[in-house]
Chains A and B, each alone.
Chain A
Amino acid sequence: MSTRIATRFAAVKAENRPALVTYVMAGDPDLATSQAILAALPQAGSDMIELGIPFSDPMADGVAIQLGGQRALAAGQTLRGVLAMVEDFRRKDEITPIVLMGYYNPIYSMGVDKFLAAAVAAGVDGLIVVDLPPEEDDELCLPALAAGINFIRLTTPTTDDKRLPTVLKNTSGFVYYVSMTGVTGAAIKSRGAVSDAVERIKGHTDLPVAVGFGIKTAADAADIGRHADGIVVGTVLVEAVANSLVDGKATDKTVGAVRDLVADLFAGVKRARG
């Protein structure tokens, strides 16, 4: 079965460019604006969407995404609400892959089987769950794979060659390389080390390798995207939402701020190998 994720990576490969994967927090700054942002992403150049599930305790996220999550929760977002957003998106867009990204507890709280059934029905393509390492694959990874949903694993600078096979074993869709040891939105310490790591991972898997954490500009996208099959941008998009708000509320600039930034980043990925 060719999944939306595999299809999209094959398509961008044919264009000789990396995929632009964009992260937004579901429900930030409010449910309606967030839905409008989501709908605007593909046209602006997003090849694939990571939709953040807000969580009260995002241990792996920097301040920008922490605050985005708090705005979403304050706006009344729930895991069911996130799935409803995907369902709504899918009525108009059958091809852009959507990966849900978050932490395990909201999913565990809903119940894994119930969640997976709802995710399949809504049109979710993949999951990234930060606090589920391969050691906990029985929890959600294996049930998700059985349900036909990709389980995308993070590999990090601390994942050495000895451990990589463990991490890659049940990974599907793509491999997400975290560019540094740190939280989302921190600075990449060494670009050379990132491309070396991408090559190293490719020695272990045929899956596409996307790089995320710390990619902020079109120049970063072009630079990192030279070697990676995809680049993931999140923090700056969540910051664009934050900067567009007045008194914490969305303005007529909010959707446009994200759309313009995505368009700019897309120009970066297009020239990555030019």
Chain B
Amino acid sequence: MDGINSLRNGPDEFGNFGQFGGRFVAETLMPLILDLEAHYRAAKIDPEFKAELSDLSINYAGRPSPLYFAKRVTEHLGGAKVWFKREELNHTGSHKINNCLGQILLAKRMGKTRVIAETGAGQHGVATATVCAKFDLPCVIFMGATDVERQMPNVLRMRMLGAEVRPVTAGAGTLKDAMNEALRDWVTNVDTTYYLIGTAAGPHPYPEMVRDFQSVIGTEIKDQFQKAEGKLPDAVVACVGGGSNAIGSFHAFLDDSSVALFGAEAGGHGIDVENGHAASMTGGRPGVLHGNRTYLLQDKDGQILEGHSISAGLDYPGVGPEHSFLHDTKRVTYAPITDDEALEAFQLCTKLEGIIPALESAHGLALLMKVAKTMGKDQSIVLCLSGRGDKDVESVGKYLGLLK
């Protein structure tokens, strides 16, 4: 436990980070969520669980991921030194594996025989299908029909890994609709099924649990940067959809007030375009959806809006409750990045560093580009490069007119 004024103490026993979080679920799920919490508390302090997770993280996922000095991007921007935390080098190509390994071990401990998950960009779906293959559990991935179209390579990967991908046609066919459908499946198959939520959102204990499994990112950044430069970095940047890579990157630094923290929200066509973005904190207000109270995109009557982003992984009208808390307390600065800015950053990273980033991570890079320019050359800024962009090559190619 950190000090009484620490920002790292949340959530409280009811799952609240300030006014955000909670357990807003149907009664059918409530006993299961309490059971999950009990199992998680026990696992968290069980040396055997920790040892197994650590072994898998090292030998299966490839941790620790490198902290890389991006020399050409640094020179191009002419400001702070730019570093990439290379989560895209993890097995399955993103940070999502960190959480999936932790949760699949929990599912096993709980004796569950079937796994479901929602996915937007497909990165979480692939990571879930991967751990289910490894642990021999049948798995169903709910994915919006729109996202199935724009992330076909990941759909194929999931199917090859043995998962059933169920396209969801309700609503706009994106991440929010996939999550609704996953919740409907869970409520129906509650006895056998483990819901492996991919982001740091949903009912307590998911936001806390996913954060804990992802906080290895920030812990490693801290160690690696200390070894490289002998101090703390001056700023850390990550993209925020639900916000799992961001909270994982930020958590270790929350009490280090010298480290500025920045989250890039999906600004889509622009924050002033109605229903044209997915920046829930910049453009939304608090509400209750998918088990938690958090900032949501909604109309004046409390109906949830679909939102828009070029990135399927950020195209969600809500955000993890801890981010809402960090937004209100102003510990983290959240700013919208438009589709065009993300595309520009995507190309810059590809051409200058030879790294094709996921469109999600490109949002983080676009925000870094703005911030780094305002910083001194003796300062350092770290980007969580949360995923690789192979899945986006086709859709970016279309946007750039490279495909006929």
Contact = CB atoms under 8 A, between A and B. Distances in A.
B176 A105 contact: no
A135 B23 contact: yes
A148 B181 CA distance: 35
Contacts, number: 115
A40 B302 CA distance: 29
Given A136-B22, A183-B188, A59 B302 contact: no
Chain B contact surface mostly: mixed
B301 A57 contact: no
A107 interface: yes
Given A73-B303, A135-B14, A57 B289 contact: yes
Task: Give the secondary structure class of A's interface.
Answer: loop
Interface in B1-39: 14, 22-32
Interface of B: 14, 22-32, 170-171, 176, 180, 183-184, 187-191, 287-291, 293, 296, 298, 300-305
Contacts of A57: 171, 176, 180, 289-290, 304
B189 A155 contact: no
Contacts of B14: 135
Contacts of A130: 26
Which of B289, B303, B304 has most A Cβ within 10 Å?
B303
Given A59-B180, A158-B31, A181-B188, A105 B290 contact: no
Contacts of B28: 60, 154, 156-158, 178, 181
A55 B304 CA distance: 8
A196 interface: no
B26 A154 contact: yes
Q: How large is the interface on A (under 10, 10 to 19, 20 to 34, 35 or more residues)?
A: 35 or more
B61 to A, nearest CB: 32
A31 interface: no
A130 B183 CA distance: 13
Contacts of B22: 135-136
A60 B184 contact: yes
Given A59-B183, A106-B301, A159-B30, 20 more contacts: A56-B305, A57-B290, A59-B26, A60-B187, A66-B170, A79-B302, A104-B288, A105-B287, A106-B302, A107-B302, A109-B298, A131-B291, A135-B14, A136-B22, A153-B27, A154-B26, A159-B27, A178-B27, A181-B190, A181-B191
A109 B27 contact: no
Contacts of B296: 105
Given A105-B298, A131-B24, A132-B24, A56 B304 contact: yes
B301 to A, nearest CB: 5
